[in-house]
Every structure is written in C-alpha cells, then in structure tokens.
Structure 1
Amino acid sequence: MRPVVPALLLLVLLAVAGLSRAQAKTSLLDLTNSIGSILPSLSRPANFSRIFYGVMFDAGSTGTRIHVYTFIQTDSVELPVLDNEMFHSIKPGLSAYADSPEMGGHTVRMLLKVAKKTVPRLEWKRTPVVLRATAGLRLLPREKAEALLDQVQDVFDESPFLVPDNSVSIMNGTNEGILAWVSVNFLTGHLNVQNKKTVGILDLGGGSTQITFLPKLRKTVESAPTADYTARFDMFNSTYELYTHSYLGNGLMAARLATLGALGAEGLDWQVFRSSCLPKKFSDEWSFGGLTYQVSGIPDGYAGYKLCYQEVLKVVRGIIHQPYELKDSNVFYAFSYYFDRAVDAGLIDGARGGMLEVRDFKKRAKEVCNKMTKYRPISPFLCMDMTYITCLLKDGFGFKENTVLQLTKKVNNVEASWALGATFDHFRNLKIH
C-alpha cells in the first residue's frame, strides 16, 4: 500500500513554497485513506510534536457557523489527531442578506474573530479557511447567491489566513449528506478496518433535509428512484456505497412556507397565510430567506393535530422516497432541527440529548397541537414543526413508530454536522504542483 502524505506535511510544504493558495481540485465523493489515521482524542498525548488548525464555515439557511478544529501531530503516529473544536454561530444566515451582500460578508468577518482568537498568530498563514454554503443559497437566484459568495471571498482574501482555491462555494446536497455521515461515523468510532458496522444520519436543516446510511440489502440500492440516490467512495481500503439523498425545500423552515402555501409568494404584505397548525388567535410576521410573511391561525376555523397533519402531509407525500430497508438494525443519529425541536418540546435534555422512538415525536406533536396555548410561549410554530417531523419520519422516509433515533447535538464534544468531514476532505485534496 502506498504511503499517505500527512495533511500537516502538505501544509508545511505549502508554507515553505510561499503559496498563498493551495492548488487543489475538489472531489468530495472521493474520500481516501488519509482520513483513516485521524482519530478523535479525549486528551492530548504527551508526545505531541506540533499543533495545527483548520477553519470551516457552514453557511446554512438559518445561521452561519464557524468550526475551528485543532489537530495534533504526534511522534508515534504518522498522521495527526483531532484534538478539539471551537464552535460559534450567528443568525440569520447569509441568504437573509440576499439584497445586501456587504452585510452578509460582514457577518463572516465578525466570525473570523473566533478563528483569530483560537489559532495562534504564527499559525494564521498556514491555517486554511473554507466556507461551504448549503440550502439557503441553493434556494436563492444564482446572481444573488454569487454576490454573497463574492463578498465572502473578499473577506477571506483580506484575512491573514491561508485561502485555498475554491475556498468559497455552494455545497450540493449529496455531499452534505455524505460528509455528515463521515463526520458522525468517524466520531462514533465506526470508521475503521475492523468495524464494519456504521450508523445512519438524519439531518434536518432550514432549507433542506438529508438521509444517509449504508444499506445492508442490494435491493435498497437497486430500487432507488435514480442514480443520484446512491454514492460510492473509497475509504480505509474499502469501497462504501451509501444510500443518500438531499431534499431541497423540505428543511424545517422551507416546509413551514410550503405548509402555509407561501412558496413563491415573495412575502407580499397584503396576503396573510393561515394554517390549522398555528394557534387560532395567533397573528404575526415571520421571516425566512430575507423575506417577511404575514402568518396567522384560522380564527373561525379548527386547529389541532389531525388538521395540521393533513396540511403537512401535502409537503411530504409523493416527494420523499422511502428506502427499501430501514430496519431496526440501522441505528440513526438525528441532529440539527430534529434535536432542537425535541429539546423545545421537552422530549430530551438540551445538554445530553437522548434516544427517542418515532412515536415519541407523534405523541408530543398531538399534545402540543391540541394544547397550543400551553406551548405557545416556546414557539407558535411548535405544533407545525413537531407534526412535520412526525410526518417526515413516518410518511416520508417510512420509519416504523418503534424505530429508535439517537438525538444529538455533539458527538465526543464535536458538533454533529458535515463540517468535520468537509475539513478532512479538504486536507486530502491539498496538492503541490
């Protein structure tokens, strides 16, 4: 087996060569053995010889997050070890600044202060900074999305950090799901030669939602609607063929729009969008993606779980494909809005997370929707959100009511997201020409 060049050595060579940009081509689906020797550590080894860093921005539809990863090089291990993560986020997301891209760039500039505080000054020039935008920008018209990305690029170029080629871009949904799967399975210790057991991931963002898992049955792959529901890549001397798909427009915030019938309405001031999923006497403004909508309950109508379910079912049925196998043996980690709403509804502890059955979402959705006044101080949208999550899991993906999900925000003190997988992949693609 050919030796793998350590990611740290690549960074050092880049610095020595005086390159301001890494000459790289992005190939997110081609993860290789270079990830295999990077292991999460609970404590820093005594024999570490060098510390280095990577900065990844997650520009989501409802917020922008910065992940500053610290890696260590040891004398006894050829490749570095993941030591810890510094995480910070701000709201709203970049897409909210579609008509004022300079302000969007300013939010990234503010977050870069976190990187400057975390990364020692002497390491700035050797620390790559990368931003990947997700569904928020995928939902915008191309010219507006590009204007925002151009502003971010200018902010990066004026920063003291290493700015690789293709450092600012929109990530497609397939890569988002795959890299989240890599992150979670890496952090849970499932990605090594001896352990062939893996976990699936369910990621519910604001604009899109992803499902990714390693099928046990060939029919799961063969029965997928199209080829883009599966992805193959090599890692740890093994080839993985995942079932993975991203549904743009089925993230939690986008689903609110669809449930309200407000998709494409451009936030018209004179139109009020009503739903049985909202409290009868509720009336207010709600903003998403840079647009503001007038929303309310149905004052003279009915409200509650059954009517709400009928509304959200229209957003799910015929859109979400049900994989052939979603057996109990497939453990799924669910995060992002799955976790947040479970916390809001009192199903799990916000610090520890926890395990839930799908039926737990259903039971609490009924309670929330049928007692909206009680839960309104938390959010007037909690009934709609909990009902949508229930519908997405049951009638969308086809999970059984007794399927157990692991709700989590962090795994081994690292955020559950695609950002770590994307950082690994970025290091792998650093090349010297």
Structure 2
Amino acid sequence: MLISPTPLEFKRIFGGCRLNIEDLVKFANQFVAEERRSKTPVLLKATAGLRAVPEAKADAVLRTVRSTLKDSGYQFQDSWADIIKGKEEAALAWIAANYLRGSFDVDSDVPSMGVIEMGGGSTQVTFEVGLDEFERVAEVDRFQFKTGMGRVYSLYAHSYLGFGQDYAQSKLQDTMGSSQSSDPCYPVGYERVKSGIRQTGSGDSTQCRTNIRSLLFQETTAPGRYEHELPVRGRFAATENFYYVRNDLKLPNKEGVCPTEAEAKEVCGLSLTDSAADRACFALSYQLAFLGALGAVDVPGIEVEVQRKINGGDIDWALGAALAHMLSSRVETETQGISMTMSVALTLVVALALLAAAFSMVCRPTGMAKGYDSTPTLFGSKSTGLE
C-alpha cells in the first residue's frame, strides 16, 4: 500500500505519523492472520520526498516509523525501514514489471521491458543494458539484479530527482514569476494571484511544453541534459502519473497507449469545470515534454505504452522491494525464476512513500491512500508461488 501526501498536508505533529502507520498496519491485518504476523516481515521504503529534506528531519520521521512498526506484531528490523536511493527505486519498479511480465521464468523467451515511472517528486527511467555498456554506466545509475535461479540482469537505473510531475508543476509556477499575466499550462477559466498579480490560464499545450523545456529542462540534471544519461531503447511501460492522469480524466484508453499531442491539446482546451482539467493540462504537456527530452517519442525502435498492471498485478516498486527482500532472506526457491514459497501465507510489504515538505514533517492525513482498491493486486491473478 502506498501513501502519497502533498506538501501542504505536512502540517501535523509527529504523532500523526504514528497514527498513519498504525492505519497501514490495520490494513495489513485484513490479509495476514494474527498467528502468522510474527513471521511476516514488514518493510517501509521512503522515496524522493524524504530524500529531498534535511537529514535530521528525515531521521526523525524514520525513528517514529521504526518505533511504530516494532510494536505492530509483525517481523521487523530497523534496517527494513529506510530511505532508498534513486537508482534502487528505479530498479525495484523494473523488477516488479518484469516479474509480472514473466521475463524471469525458467526458459522464458519474454524479453525484459524498461520502465518510466513518473511520481510526484521524481521520475525514474530503467532498462537493461549489455555487460560491455554496463561497465560504462555511472555508479549512481548502475544496478544489478540476480534472480533466484542465478541469472544476472544489468540495469541502467536513473532517478531524475525534482522532475516528478508535482514538483515540476510547482517549480514552473515559481520560475515563471509574477510578470506574466497568463499561464498556458492551465485551462481557460483558471486563475491565481501571485505577488499581487492575477494570472489566468490560456490552455495552450504547445506553449506549455515550450515553457517546460526552456524553464525546467535547462538544468544539468534534467532529462536530455544529464551528463551520464544513456539513450533509451526498446519497449517501456510508462506508469504511475502517466496512468493516474488518464484515469482521473476518464479517458477511453487508459493503458496500452502513449500520450499524444492531440490529447494534450484537447485536454488543455477543456473548461475549468471539467473534472481534473486544471492539473491535467500541465500533466499531459509535461509527460510529452519529458518523453521528448528522453528521445522516446516517434523514434523507430522505441515503444512507450502507459500501463498500470501486467497480468493483473500492479507495476509497483513495492512489489519489487518484496521480491528483493525475499531473495536477500534466502528463503526456499521454486523452479520458476524468482517465485518463492514462504512459511507464511503471504509476505506483505507495507511500503510508505513519504512526500515531505521543506519545513514540517508528519505523515499524511486520513484518506490520502492513493492508487489501490480495497483488495491489493500486487501479485496478479495468476499463481506466483507467493501465496
């Protein structure tokens, strides 16, 4: 289960963090019998938001989380609650996608697939590379994964910190300044007051992408400019915000398609009264600009499709974390790739994605769980050996 609060929601005391972790534990209790909990590991992995805050504040959050999980009744060690590196977040999503895809199965001829995961604070890009090229990958982007059957995958796994959709949207507003009276990244009818200046939306996706490229993508860490960036290749699943935006807009094709200029133009032309139009104009424009900066749009040999699920399971780095944890724990392996059997009915990973504000640290208010139905589908509908 993932939690994704916005920066404005970090205005409560640390006690709120404990309460929210306890809510997650109650959620887990629905699926793990009481007699099995002491043998069921619980993990917490914080991502981009907590990586971006001062170390002392991040440590304070983790101390609260660790204390709460120790009292949860589940199997827990302090090292199981931590802040993961950007490349780890990227690689875990790749592991999840390719596990669900069947790429790790014994004698599988299913090629691996890359993943572009656009979150709120960062965007991750991960794909497999050959051993020769892997030796030239920067250490910060280098990740190797070994399946339970001993096969090693070498990955380029990069996290563009600060280039998640929410952070980028906020930063673009700040970068524009108060001298401009209109904002093309918002639909007609939208307005805000900045430094006493009234700014209105003009709903122009083309100009919005131009602003994104000129005001956000000139930094040396931006997509298309990062010095250690490798050219993308092959097939990619574009997930997280790529899917959520389409779902919020109730677009007919939520998955299996790539964002298009025509879609962005149409959404930016919606009136403010249309559901999700105020944020979706920027979102679709930003997604197109990001993919364009990567060189992933209308390029032969590169295929990008929005996907949330593969074979019934969610493409989620939390699943990748669960699988990696089980491998590191050296539990009994089965004959199918990295599928495993545990001494418990289900190994549950409670992964909490903490988005943190610069000035105050707490967990999200009640009701901010994102992206899941009441019944989790991390492991898909097929038999995986995890049940």
What is the TM-score when the length of structure 2 is the normalising length?
0.73
2:90 to 177, 194, 203: 177
| Higher normalized contact order (CA 8 Å, seq sep 6+, divided by chain length) | 2
Q: Tell whether the 8 Å contact from 1:271 to 1:294 is kept in structure 2 after alignment.
A: no
Counterpart for residue 185 of structure 2: 277
Counterpart of 2:296 in 1: which secondary structure? coil
1:308 to 204, 208, 218: 208
Identical-residue share of aligned pairs (%)? 25
Q: Tell whether the 8 Å contact from 1:127 to 1:162 is kept in structure 2 after alignment.
A: yes
Counterpart for residue 298 of structure 2: 401
Structural RMSD (CA)? 3.3
Question: What does 1:62-101 align with in structure 2 at a 5 Å threshold?
Answer: 64=3, 92=5, 96-97=9-10, 100-101=13-14
Q: Tell whether the 8 Å contact from 1:275 to 1:297 is kept in structure 2 after alignment.
A: no
Q: Tell whether the 8 Å contact from 1:274 to 1:296 is kept in structure 2 after alignment.
A: no
* Higher alpha-carbon deviation: 314-323 or 414-423: 314-323
Paired AA for residue 406 in structure 1 = E
Counterpart for residue 86 of structure 1: none
Structure 1: runs of 5 or more not aligned: 1-56, 59-63, 65-90, 286-292
Q: Tell whether the 8 Å contact from 2:270 to 2:277 is kept in structure 1 after alignment.
A: no
Counterpart for residue 199 of structure 2: 298
Q: Aligned equivalents of 1:305 and 1:113: distance in 2?
A: 43
Counterpart of 1:381 in 2: which secondary structure? helix
Counterpart of 2:199 in 1: which secondary structure? coil
1:390 to 282, 288, 297: 288
Question: What does 1:198-237 align with in structure 2 at a 5 Å threshold?
Answer: 198-215=112-129, 218=132, 221=134, 226-235=138-147, 236-237=149-150
Compute the displacement of 1:129 (Å).
Answer: 1.1
Counterpart for residue 159 of structure 1: 72
Change (3 A) 1:307 1:94: closer
Paired AA for residue 210 in structure 1 = Q
Q: Aligned equivalents of 1:367 and 1:94: distance in 2?
A: 29
Change (3 A) 1:95 1:202: farther
Q: Tell whether the 8 Å contact from 1:260 to 1:273 is kept in structure 2 after alignment.
A: no
Q: Aligned equivalents of 1:302 and 1:295: distance in 2?
A: 19
Counterpart for residue 223 of structure 2: 320
Change (3 A) 1:218 1:347: farther
Give the total of aligned pairs. 321
Q: Tell whether the 8 Å contact from 1:333 to 1:405 is kept in structure 2 after alignment.
A: yes
Q: Aligned equivalents of 1:109 and 1:372: distance in 2?
A: 41
Compute the displacement of 1:430 (Å).
Answer: 3.1
Q: Aligned equivalents of 1:192 and 1:210: distance in 2?
A: 25
Q: Aligned equivalents of 2:179 and 2:63: distance in 1?
A: 34
Q: Aligned equivalents of 2:262 and 2:131: distance in 1?
A: 31
Paired AA for residue 411 in structure 1 = I
Compute the displacement of 1:204 (Å).
Answer: 0.6
Change (3 A) 1:237 1:128: closer
Q: Tell whether the 8 Å contact from 1:98 to 1:148 is kept in structure 2 after alignment.
A: no
Q: Aligned equivalents of 1:347 and 1:216: distance in 2?
A: 37
2:33 corresponds to 1:135: no
Change (3 A) 1:399 1:106: same
Counterpart of 1:242 in 2: which secondary structure? strand
Paired AA for residue 211 in structure 2 = E
Q: Aligned equivalents of 2:122 and 2:285: distance in 1?
A: 17
Paired AA for residue 338 in structure 1 = F
2:239 corresponds to 1:335: yes
Q: Aligned equivalents of 2:124 and 2:153: distance in 1?
A: 18
Q: Tell whether the 8 Å contact from 1:178 to 1:244 is kept in structure 2 after alignment.
A: yes
2:176 corresponds to 1:255: no
Q: Tell whether the 8 Å contact from 1:135 to 1:208 is kept in structure 2 after alignment.
A: yes
Q: Tell whether the 8 Å contact from 2:248 to 2:275 is kept in structure 1 after alignment.
A: no
Counterpart for residue 429 of structure 1: 328
2:281 corresponds to 1:367: no
Counterpart of 2:167 in 1: which secondary structure? helix
Paired AA for residue 205 in structure 2 = Y
Q: Aligned equivalents of 2:42 and 2:108: distance in 1?
A: 32
2:17 corresponds to 1:104: yes
Paired AA for residue 212 in structure 1 = T
Counterpart for residue 42 of structure 1: none
Compute the displacement of 1:181 (Å).
Answer: 0.8
Q: Tell whether the 8 Å contact from 1:259 to 1:275 is kept in structure 2 after alignment.
A: no
Q: Aligned equivalents of 1:123 and 1:205: distance in 2?
A: 33
Going by fraction, where is strand more abundant, 1 or 2? 1
Paired AA for residue 178 in structure 1 = A
Q: Aligned equivalents of 1:155 and 1:338: distance in 2?
A: 33
Q: Aligned equivalents of 2:197 and 2:266: distance in 1?
A: 20
Q: Tell whether the 8 Å contact from 1:272 to 1:294 is kept in structure 2 after alignment.
A: no
Change (3 A) 1:321 1:272: closer
Q: Tell whether the 8 Å contact from 1:97 to 1:103 is kept in structure 2 after alignment.
A: no
Q: Tell whether the 8 Å contact from 1:94 to 1:104 is kept in structure 2 after alignment.
A: no
1:121 to 34, 51, 58: 34
Q: Aligned equivalents of 1:389 and 1:295: distance in 2?
A: 30
Question: What does 1:235-246 align with in structure 2 at a 5 Å threshold?
Answer: 235=147, 236-246=149-159
* Higher alpha-carbon deviation: 209-218 or 178-187: 209-218
Change (3 A) 1:336 1:115: same
